[in-house]
Structure 1
């Protein structure tokens, strides 16, 4: 465990020393999405009760249409796109905030001709997502 404060440096929407990971283990249900777990995802951050993640959706890509039992907060920081929340579509752009309620079906799409990047803050201990149609 590391109790030391620190800065995680960014370079053009990638964070130094933080692996770029596949978005999910179901590539048939999403397109062009990667993530980085910036804070709270390692033993060094075990005192945090939440994770801060960065997701990036390439132009034309989309996340899985999913639901899960935990809520999360999203802040758009790059590009533009849309989010589907419980069947309704909403345009989103930098600095818009999105609250996803527990068990709400949701999907993020980079459907405005640019990549869509957003920070997502969730409880560190949360349930696994499931497809919205399950």
Structure 2
């Protein structure tokens, strides 16, 4: 069993092209023995964003803090704490923070061996 506070996990800066002002903490992953899913928490600074991208696996997102914009192609939808998102495999997506406060969300993906 693993039990920690998320702030005890080191923040990493994603290296993907198209990222601005975003960090990630890998809370649970294959390194912890999680064979099926990984749990991550992302923090996006004001004016920051994730890449506008797609991939071959689904993932689930839960907005923890702050407000943002979910972008999928030309579609844009507001995000607030408590909102959740299901992103299908191959679906174009991006999360943007256009507010003046940080935005934070949890994201679950299949473990690297599964995607």
TM-score (norm 1): 0.78
Q: Structure 1 residue runs of 4+, over 2 Å off?
A: none
Are the equivalent residues in 2 in contact too, given 1:85–1:100 (CA < 8 A)? no
Unaligned runs of 5+ in 2: none
Aligned counterparts of 2:67 and 2:91: Cα–Cα separation in 1: 22
Give CA deviations for 1:17-41 in whole Å, capped at 9, x if unaligned: x121112243xx1210110000124
1:113 deviates by: 2.2
Q: Is residue 20 of structure 1 aligned with residue 16 of structure 2?
A: no
TM-score (norm 2): 0.90
CA distance 1:6–1:82, shift in 2 (3 Å): same
Which residue does the alignment assign to 2:108?
Answer: 121
Larger radius of gyration: 1
Q: What's the C-alpha RMSD, in Å, of the aligned pairs?
A: 1.5
1:50 deviates by: 0.3
Unaligned runs of 5+ in 1: 128-134
